[in-house]
């Protein structure tokens, strides 16, 4: 979805972000960490509110930069961007589908329901 992936490769180019593929290394460097994603509070139950989201990173890209119309949804502790939103588009460096936590999917469904496109 990025407009720039750093090398010549067919891309969709629909989000004003620059990414770097496999930025965290190979499969064996995959990792999990807890992410703070305040936007998920919009779809969280009272028990889930402000809970960290389980980030599963497998051969993960990173978002190197974002344009002015892009909202950063989450970063790692070092400031590395791992989730972003631009209009009705979402980009993540992690795999929300590999967890039992459905908040990210609920957030996406909320976006779809609110979309006018």
- In this prediction, residue 60 carries a pLDDT of 81
117 exposed, middle or buried (CB, 10 Å; 0-12, 13-18, 19+)?
exposed
Say which CATH number the domain at 77 has.
3.40.50.880
The residues, ordered by sequence, that sit 6+ positions from 103 with a Cβ below 8 Å of its Cβ are 37, 40, 43, 44, 48, 53
- Domain extent, residue 25, equals 2-114
Over residues 17-74, the pLDDT tens digits come to 988 877 666 777 788 999 999 999 999 999 999 999 999 998 888 899 999 999 999 9
- Total structural domains within the chain: 1
Average pLDDT, whole number, for the chain?
87
How many helices (H) and strands (E) the chain has is answered by: 1, 8
State pTM to two decimals. Answer: 0.83
């Amino acid at each position: 979805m990025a407009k720039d992936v750093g090398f010549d490769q067919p891309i969709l180019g629909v989000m004003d972000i620059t990414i770097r593929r496999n930025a965290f290394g190979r499969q064996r460097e995959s990792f999990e960490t807890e992410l703070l994603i305040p936007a998920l509070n919009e779809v969280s139950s009272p028990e889930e509110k402000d809970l960290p989201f389980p980030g599963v990173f497998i051969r993960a890209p990173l978002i190197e930069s974002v344009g002015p119309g892009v909202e950063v949804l989450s970063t790692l502790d070092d400031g590395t961007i791992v989730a972003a939103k631009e209009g009705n588009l979402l980009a993540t460096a992690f795999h929300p589908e590999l967890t039992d936590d459905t908040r990210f999917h609920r957030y996406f469904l909320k976006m779809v329901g609110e979309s006018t496109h």
